[in-house]
A = this chain, B = another copy of it.
């Protein structure tokens, strides 16, 4: 077995077939910069585009062309799009609950509304001659260009916009209108008073303020949260006709572009007491469009310098994985400590803008490798929201910390008891995500443990993290039970990652994660919380020892997903799918087509095998072969786990399509957009993170051995060379693997 593919940059020219030791990569290394330039010279594609107008693609395009900066996300809809097309300026870390509806993040009033009368979509689609949407992941700029037949020629509308990566309250847009003939058009632009909400409306009122050429629209919720969008425009013709929208007549000269520059600022009461003043001041004092645009290029270039991946021989995979990282960077909370990433990123209010286990289990690896400060922010969020987790546990009669399944402000659980709507009756279905997916607390511990191990930095544990670990262990201690006549401990009535099976006993994944939590708590408490009663730690150790282990069957090597799983109907996915009556019906719940079968929603045992990394290859292979044809991959968290296990058993060819499925989740679109009758569309940052994990830990086979990173590459066919950079233990490392260097 050949391995060790960590290459210092100067070795890039001579790695093929050679085993080399890893070396520290100097920060801002010149050689690596050259490599990036070299790659750029080969015209590696950084642009994703779609041409032609299809309203059915509005939702997917909104995700596909998303721009963001961690503070806000702007869906990739066109200027004249509104509520119907799910246009949104989605905000991180600010939530509101309207009445008894689902709590969800607030959308700011959209300042980039722009519509030209008579050449607007979808109304004038019949006059469209060309239409193109594009996103350059190199600098996070969205472009829209549409040409319409007009009375005496053609009119072309171009928008270019971005969320400023360095000044996160700002977003900017340049609109260019060009006609082939002299004409006068009516243009409406500015802050749209129509705000898309799923469980709203959240604003009781919207207030318009105008001052020094800045127009601001402030929404206020019934609990007095305020969100202000202020807009400074290069054009102040015409007048405000509705909301913060100005309507003007503009004279176009044949062939001469008419240009509108807009710079907007968003502030909320989460940022301070006077969001209007802050937003208006920020809009007024912001640099001009061109300056912001240049700043944006520089900011993204710096990000890409650390993140960029090159895959010689597979342009599709190369783009897909870089595109995945683009999304993860666009939604990364760089600007604020103790803020985390929502399961749908900043692509809207679906999943309530809440933080799921996705962050710790699927996104953390990328942030650790490329944006360690973001990894820290995400985990600080868990430390800071410990009181919410303690409250949740208490409300169920448990001890310790039961983290929210869908965490919103203060760690409150936004997950309701009814998450799915029955397509046959229209009734809400009682679901058990909130109360029985107890593996969430272990995910938080897993994240803290990974952060500490990966970075070598234990300051998170010292500053509250250890307490989180202790309280999560206490939570499991209060849950674990035993038959009075048995020595085996059980975790009863849980739901594992596979949500299609409710009320299961001793879910293999959950039990092992709970055991990890208990063991880690003993270690962490002794070191960081020496005042902890040793007797309690002995209880932890005892529970970890006796908690039921779903051991691989000695003959088959199979691990039972939960007690009794193998007694369920043994059918594969196509059979179960064929039993659907309504394509939107929920596969899980009590009576869903999968519920009484062995068909599962997503990686469960397979997630365990990868996540805890303590099983030999033959066990992984046996379980991979058994569970894969029984897995719907109905969650975007599934394919990457299978791909990682496939790599672990030397099957990169099997991993490859699963890797692409993850990496292209938001490129392809059209994923599962409905759970029963509830819309769950949006971007898939966990799939993006999963794709990154497959590349790094699967195809490159990164491990940390003997105090340094080593590679055990298992490259898919056709991949000539992979290069990427990771941050580890405070230093940057350049990784390189070439065809032929298999583990």
Is A490's CB within 8 Å of the partner chain B? yes
A497 vs B339: C-alpha distance in the bound complex, in angstroms? 49
Known contacts A427-B591, A591-B590, A595-B430; A481 and B484 CB within 8 A of each other: yes
Is A493's CB within 8 Å of the partner chain B? yes
Note all chain B residues with C-beta closer than 8 A to A399.
Answer: 485
What 1/0 mask marks residues of chain A from 456 to 495 whose CB sits below 8 Å from any chain B CB? 0000000000000000000001111111110001101100
CB distance from A515 to the nearest CB of B (A): 14
**Which residue of the partner chain B has the closest CB to A546?**
B484
**Which residue of the partner chain B has the closest CB to A596?**
B430
Note all chain B residues with C-beta closer than 8 A to A539.
Answer: 484-485
Is A303's CB within 8 Å of the partner chain B? no
Note all chain B residues with C-beta closer than 8 A to A368.
Answer: none
A591 vs B588: C-alpha distance in the bound complex, in angstroms? 13
Asked if A484 contacts B543 (CB within 8 A), the reply is: yes
Note all chain B residues with C-beta closer than 8 A to A704.
Answer: none
Is A199's CB within 8 Å of the partner chain B? no
**Which residue of the partner chain B has the closest CB to A396?**
B564
Asked if A490 contacts B481 (CB within 8 A), the reply is: yes
What 1/0 mask marks residues of chain A from 92 to 132 whose CB sits below 8 Å from any chain B CB? 00000000000000000000000000000000000000000
CB distance from A478 to the nearest CB of B (A): 6
CB distance from A292 to the nearest CB of B (A): 53
Note all chain B residues with C-beta closer than 8 A to A430.
Answer: 590-591, 595-596
**Which residue of the partner chain B has the closest CB to A489?**
B484
A61 vs B98: C-alpha distance in the bound complex, in angstroms? 56
Known contacts A430-B591, A430-B596, A595-B430; A484 and B492 CB within 8 A of each other: no
Asked if A485 contacts B492 (CB within 8 A), the reply is: no
A493 vs B590: C-alpha distance in the bound complex, in angstroms? 15
Note all chain B residues with C-beta closer than 8 A to A589.
Answer: 590-591
Note all chain B residues with C-beta closer than 8 A to A596.
Answer: 417, 430
Choose one: B424, B477, B492; the contact of A424 (CB below 8 Å).
B424
**Which residue of the partner chain B has the closest CB to A502?**
B590
Choose one: B424, B429, B483, B590; the contact of A481 (CB below 8 Å).
B483
Interface residues of A in 160-176 (CB under 8 A from B): none
A490 vs B480: C-alpha distance in the bound complex, in angstroms? 12
Is A14's CB within 8 Å of the partner chain B? no
Known contacts A427-B591, A429-B591, A503-B493; A483 and B480 CB within 8 A of each other: yes
Asked if B492 contacts A492 (CB within 8 A), the reply is: yes
Interface residues of A in 591-629 (CB under 8 A from B): 591, 595-596
What 1/0 mask marks residues of chain A from 421 to 436 whose CB sits below 8 Å from any chain B CB? 0101101011000000
Is A581's CB within 8 Å of the partner chain B? yes
Note all chain B residues with C-beta closer than 8 A to A581.
Answer: 425
What 1/0 mask marks residues of chain A from 136 to 175 whose CB sits below 8 Å from any chain B CB? 0000000000000000000000000000000000000000
CB distance from A646 to the nearest CB of B (A): 33
What 1/0 mask marks residues of chain A from 408 to 427 whose CB sits below 8 Å from any chain B CB? 00000000010000101101
A503 vs B539: C-alpha distance in the bound complex, in angstroms? 29
A422 vs B429: C-alpha distance in the bound complex, in angstroms? 15
Known contacts A492-B493, A493-B503, A503-B503; A429 and B590 CB within 8 A of each other: yes
Asked if A422 contacts B493 (CB within 8 A), the reply is: no
What 1/0 mask marks residues of chain A from 542 to 582 whose CB sits below 8 Å from any chain B CB? 01000000000000000000000000000000000000010
Asked if A480 contacts B484 (CB within 8 A), the reply is: yes
CB distance from A294 to the nearest CB of B (A): 57
Known contacts A429-B591, A589-B591, A590-B591; A478 and B482 CB within 8 A of each other: no
Asked if A481 contacts B482 (CB within 8 A), the reply is: yes
**Which residue of the partner chain B has the closest CB to A581?**
B425
**Which residue of the partner chain B has the closest CB to A479?**
B483
CB distance from A68 to the nearest CB of B (A): 38
Asked if A591 contacts B481 (CB within 8 A), the reply is: no
Choose one: B417, B477, B503; the contact of A484 (CB below 8 Å).
B477
A67 vs B658: C-alpha distance in the bound complex, in angstroms? 68
Known contacts A424-B425, A589-B590, A590-B590; A482 and B480 CB within 8 A of each other: no
What 1/0 mask marks residues of chain A from 235 to 276 whose CB sits below 8 Å from any chain B CB? 000000000000000000000000000000000000000000
20 contacts between A and B (CB under 8 A): A417-B596, A422-B591, A427-B591, A478-B485, A479-B483, A480-B484, A481-B482, A481-B483, A481-B492, A482-B484, A484-B489, A484-B539, A484-B543, A485-B539, A492-B493, A493-B503, A503-B503, A589-B591, A590-B590, A591-B591
Per CB-CB distance, the 9 closest pairs between chain A and chain B, nearest first, are: A590-B590, A424-B424, A481-B481, A481-B483, A480-B484, A503-B503, A430-B596, A429-B591, A482-B484
Additional A-B contact list (9), CB under 8 Å, known A422-B591, A493-B503, A503-B503: A424-B424, A429-B590, A477-B484, A477-B485, A478-B485, A479-B483, A480-B484, A481-B484, A589-B590
